[in-house]
A and B are shown apart, each in its own frame.
Chain A
Amino acid sequence: MAGRDFLHRLPDSELAFARRQAWLRRLHIDLPLLVLVLLVCGVGLVVLYSAVDGNPDRFTSQLTRLGLAFGVMFIIAQVPPRTLRRWSAPLYLVGLALLVAVLFFGVSAKGAQRWIDLPGLPRFQPAEIMKLVVPMMLAAFLAERRLPPRFGVLCGALALLAVPAVLIAVQPDLGTAILVGGSGLAIILLAGVSWRLVLAAAAAGLAALPALWMVLHDYQRQRVLTLFDPESDPLGAGWNIIQSKTAIGSGGLYGKGLLQGTQSHLDFLPESDTDFIIAVMGEETGFLGVMALLVLYFLLITRGLYIATRAPDAYSRLLAGSLSITFFIYVFVNIAMVSGLLPVVGVPLPLVSYGGTSALTLMAAFGILMAINTNPKMLRA
């Protein structure tokens, strides 16, 4: 067999690998990212199956949404980053318009005005779109200028960030505001703002905390107070956090076994299939199960950051880095809040919590990452 064709002296296995790489590249798929996303979704579905407690409708509904989200990911992956970059500013303006519209025409649910109901479209949260559009806009804005950005540019970027973040925060949707704000700050950090400025800003932020306290809603203040002393109101505000800590802690090293969690299945744990789902996992699969999920998340984020460093242009770099960091903020804020390290804010556990909109935006973000990683020939701007 050997030597017949010089060009094909590569071993068969490597040849197959190279062919597959080329094929995946044509389809704009990043295999490590895809595998990791599939693994997280798989783990998430198993935990969700337990958390919805035998409610098959909720499980199949989530399965459908994830399928749809995968479709969106593949479609977005086909969009060249330069197209995204061109669309950044128009999408940002549309997003802002929708956020303003929510303020006036939004539909209320659970005491917050977050949804918008356009005829012919399913009800959706404009804030959710901003999780993608704000990093796109900031990346586009900064990539057009010299990096690291000068002070004036920085102020412009902060303004572009502050307007949607404030609009979201007043809905109120503190969780999404934090994620949007985080994504924007991540871009600014990645763009190379001097550490001196970063530290100064952090100090100013700490100094502004009392002012922030004045702005918070009563229920939000209560959540912060509850974090420090959940036992002060064990049946009221402290209930959620006490029950979630109990659920996680009682899981121990190995957990109580899938479907065996008493805290969740006996309804002691509220929101057990949405924001507090990590408590179900902690209770049923124990420390080791949660560690496994954290490892998957860590690999996913690392892959995202790796893609960012490999990106050919500033826009792609900033966007990929920001999306990866946003994903991590999701993970950190959610687990820290459920385990009692942070006050309760409405941040779901990415790809695991029940909920369609967040799955959709997250998968779209992974689509963008794939598009960036498989489009090396973008023109340098």
Chain B
Amino acid sequence: MMDAFTLRDHDAEARLFTGRVMVIWCLVVVAILVLVLRLFQLQVVEHERHAVQSDANRIQVQPIAPTRGLIYDRNGILLAENVPVSSLTIVRERVPDLDATLTALAELVDLTPAEIERFQRRLRERRRPFEPVPLRLQLGEDEIARIAVNRYRLPGVEVEAQLIRHYPFGEFTAHAIGSIRRIARADLERLDPVQYSATRYAGRLGVERHYEQHLHGQVGYQRVETDARGRITRVIDRKPPVAGKNIQLHLDLKLQLAASAALGDRRGAIVAIDPSTGGILALVSKPAYDPNLFIGGIDPKSYAWLRDHPDTPMFNRAVRGQYAPGSTFKPIVGLAGLNHGETNWERTIRDPGYFRLPGQTRMYRDWNWRPGGGGQGIVGMQRAIYRSSNTYFYDLGVRLGIERLAPFAAEFGFGERYVLDLPEAVNGLMPTPQWKRAARREPWYPGDTVNLGIGQGDMLVTPLQLAGATAILAARGQRHTPRMLLAADAELEELKPMSLNPVPLADPKDWERMAEAMSDVIHRGNRGYGQNGTAWAHIGMDVPYRMAGKSGTAQVVGIPQGLRHDDLELTERQQKHAWFIAFAPLENPEIALAVLVENGGGGSSVAGPVAREVLDAWLLNRLEGPIVAGN
């Protein structure tokens, strides 16, 4: 076995070996030093960075949505509450195979195609990463149990307990208090991304929108430790959210329901205001819709139905519907004439049934004009109001001129924003020569002023504006900006006293005389043909309190010269809109209101009884009868 011809030098081999071992031992030392330096680099030099990374790995900050503030009516009845629901949500980023997950879920929960479609639509919308997307809003107990048992094979599927907004009176308060909607793309730009990091819904309409920042509250957060699969292992710390502020409205639910009932199934609007505060007691727009549908996520078919319905249930007529005020504008024209000395309570005119501008042949007709006759004879201011004489106010309008009439009307909020906290409210239109030049590129004709004298022509008002103006009439010129908010848990800007100057009037006694004239509209009766108030026969014969009112009709189509309104064959949608404004009790009014019935016809006959019913409800039956939730 040995090398036959050479002797081995065992000592030399051992020395050589020891030398090699020493070299290798040195290499080992160097290699270990490399490891030590590497560990020193990671654990001492870069420690900070890795520690941060390690925390970032495991610690996630989860925002916690605050509980939305409640909304009460003036008597403490809840109009907007929060109810707990368990909803089925999916975190798309955690689902490996969405179709498989949906198929598996469909075996556990009854998923309608509409729900799946809505879910898919929401997935496509812009949203925050890792935001749970709702699939099914309300889960039953057994469904929750079935999902819990199968959770292990459904990553990304979560059952979330959450509070959602609920409007117990549904469509009865929809237009009054507005509603919230799921935060969508457009909202992300106006909402604070931090404050809304956990919030899914925000006020979109009405009071819910105006007081959004107070109702919403302050976001809280919890820092949680999660494992590599995103499961929460413990909560490290927690800053609880601050619940939103509760608010109380001037709205009286019972009056709201009574007003809704009074209007019945007709299209229209009612706004009732407390003249001493500007507080809106009722705000009805019909038809309405159930805002709760939108919170659960409305299916496209129902939404399309609501959107495309000819009666436009989602349109808030009370604050956005713009109509000619018609004869309800006459008391204001009258006050303007008195204020500027163009007329007084003694002055009279002869009413032949029409008015003609000097040198023109066009006839501006009175409502009782007949070919070859009509007219109300001798008419003074008071009679012009209770008989609603057009001729008198055509004349007075022309005497005043648009330069004096428009600014005076603006004092009552026409053409202006005259409401505190209803964001959708529109301003209507108080036409002026400047406006007409800009909008129509036409000069102002004297005939425009004639029409304006009886609230026709281009003038537009909303029911809210007309109710606001009526409240000023009722308060004898005192102005209180119409408002929804009565009280709140916090000191809101809107609750600070705001003093508006009264509407200036040369002789303040004229307020009282105008109120008297308006009360004749209701109460002056049994005086024979042509002597009774226009509304007496319809509502005035048995009123147990003293009220003031004024009817109005707003023409929808123009009537050719020589024809009477009744001569035209009009479709339902071409019928006149019926107005009635009223306040009561006469001496110390507690309520002022405006009623609009779209295409209703006669103001006194159609809108008058509605107004009377609302006043009765407020003044007579105030604390009677149980409240029944709408749904």
Residues of A within 8 A of B (CB): 144-148, 186, 189-190, 192, 243, 245-253, 262-263, 266-268, 282-283, 286-287, 290-291, 294, 297-298, 301-302, 305, 308-309, 314, 317-318, 321, 325, 328, 332, 335-336, 339-341, 380-381
Which single member of A148, A192, A266, A336 contacts B58 (CB below 8 Å)? A266
Cα distance A294–B35 in the bound complex, in angstroms: 9
Produce 1/0 per residue, B50-69, CB < 8 A to A: 11011101100000000000
Cα distance A84–B21 in the bound complex, in angstroms: 22
Asked if A266 and B32 make an inter-chain contact with CB atoms under 8 angstroms apart, the answer reads no
Residues of B within 8 A of A (CB): 1-3, 6, 8, 10, 13-14, 16-18, 20-21, 24-25, 28-29, 31-32, 34-36, 38-40, 42-44, 46-47, 49-51, 53-55, 57-58, 225-229, 233
Give, as a whole number of angstroms, the nearest-CB distance from B275 to chain A.
66
Contacts of B28 in A (CB 8 A): 298, 301-302, 305, 325, 328
Report, nearest first, the 10 A-B pairs whose CB atoms are least far apart: A249-B50, A250-B54, A266-B227, A287-B43, A249-B42, A267-B228, A252-B47, A250-B51, A250-B50, A192-B16
14 cross-chain CB contacts under 8 A:
A146-B6, A147-B13, A245-B50, A246-B50, A249-B49, A250-B55, A262-B57, A262-B58, A266-B58, A267-B228, A321-B20, A325-B24, A335-B38, A341-B35
Give the most central of B13, B16, B25, B43: most A CB within 10 Å: B43
Which single member of B25, B40, B233 contacts A287 (CB below 8 Å)? B40
Cα distance A246–B42 in the bound complex, in angstroms: 8
Contacts of A314 in B (CB 8 A): 10, 13, 17
Which single member of A192, A249, A267 contacts B51 (CB below 8 Å)? A249
Contacts of B50 in A (CB 8 A): 245-250
Which single member of B6, B31, B54 contacts A328 (CB below 8 Å)? B31
Give, as a whole number of angstroms, the nearest-CB distance from B521 to chain A.
78
Cα distance A147–B387 in the bound complex, in angstroms: 136
Cα distance A1–B479 in the bound complex, in angstroms: 123
Cα distance A283–B51 in the bound complex, in angstroms: 10
Which single member of A190, A283, A318, A380 contacts B24 (CB below 8 Å)? A190
Asked if A246 and B53 make an inter-chain contact with CB atoms under 8 angstroms apart, the answer reads yes
Contacts of B3 in A (CB 8 A): 145-146
Contacts of A248 in B (CB 8 A): 39, 42-43, 50
Cα distance A249–B58 in the bound complex, in angstroms: 15
**Nearest A residue (CB) for B35:** A335
Contacts of A290 in B (CB 8 A): 39, 43
Given contacts A266-B228, A267-B227, 7 further A-B contacts (CB under 8 A): A147-B17, A250-B47, A262-B58, A263-B58, A267-B228, A325-B24, A336-B38
Cα distance A283–B2 in the bound complex, in angstroms: 55
Cα distance A298–B18 in the bound complex, in angstroms: 18
Given contacts A253-B47, A282-B43, A287-B43, contact A268 B17 (CB under 8 A): no
Which single member of B8, B34, B49 contacts A146 (CB below 8 Å)? B8
Give, as a whole number of angstroms, the nearest-CB distance from A311 to chain B.
9
Give, as a whole number of angstroms, the nearest-CB distance from B607 to chain A.
68
**Nearest A residue (CB) for B56:** A246
Cα distance A381–B32 in the bound complex, in angstroms: 36
Give, as a whole number of angstroms, the nearest-CB distance from B113 to chain A.
35
Cα distance A297–B28 in the bound complex, in angstroms: 11
Asked if A302 and B13 make an inter-chain contact with CB atoms under 8 angstroms apart, the answer reads no
Which single member of B25, B43, B57 contacts A252 (CB below 8 Å)? B43
Give, as a whole number of angstroms, the nearest-CB distance from A376 to chain B.
13
Contacts of A250 in B (CB 8 A): 47, 50-51, 53-55
Asked if B14 and A336 make an inter-chain contact with CB atoms under 8 angstroms apart, the answer reads no
Cα distance A267–B226 in the bound complex, in angstroms: 10
Contacts of A308 in B (CB 8 A): 17, 21
Asked if A305 and B24 make an inter-chain contact with CB atoms under 8 angstroms apart, the answer reads yes
Given contacts A148-B16, A262-B57, contact A249 B21 (CB under 8 A): no
Contacts of B47 in A (CB 8 A): 249-253
Which single member of A321, A341, A380 contacts B10 (CB below 8 Å)? A380
Contacts of A336 in B (CB 8 A): 34-35, 38
Contacts of A246 in B (CB 8 A): 50, 53-54, 57
Give, as a whole number of angstroms, the nearest-CB distance from B306 to chain A.
45
Give, as a whole number of angstroms, the nearest-CB distance from A318 to chain B.
8
Give, as a whole number of angstroms, the nearest-CB distance from A368 to chain B.
17
Cα distance A340–B225 in the bound complex, in angstroms: 26
Contacts of A309 in B (CB 8 A): 14, 17-18, 21
Contacts of A325 in B (CB 8 A): 24, 28
Which single member of A262, A287, A380 contacts B44 (CB below 8 Å)? A287
Cα distance A340–B25 in the bound complex, in angstroms: 24
Asked if A144 and B35 make an inter-chain contact with CB atoms under 8 angstroms apart, the answer reads no
Asked if A268 and B18 make an inter-chain contact with CB atoms under 8 angstroms apart, the answer reads no
Asked if A291 and B36 make an inter-chain contact with CB atoms under 8 angstroms apart, the answer reads yes
Contacts of B228 in A (CB 8 A): 266-268
Give, as a whole number of angstroms, the nearest-CB distance from A324 to chain B.
9
Contacts of A340 in B (CB 8 A): 38
Asked if B34 and A253 make an inter-chain contact with CB atoms under 8 angstroms apart, the answer reads no
Contacts of B35 in A (CB 8 A): 294, 332, 335-336, 339, 341
Cα distance A309–B1 in the bound complex, in angstroms: 24
Give, as a whole number of angstroms, the nearest-CB distance from A351 to chain B.
17
Asked if B17 and A321 make an inter-chain contact with CB atoms under 8 angstroms apart, the answer reads yes
**Nearest A residue (CB) for B49:** A249
**Nearest B residue (CB) for A262:** B58
Asked if B21 and A253 make an inter-chain contact with CB atoms under 8 angstroms apart, the answer reads no
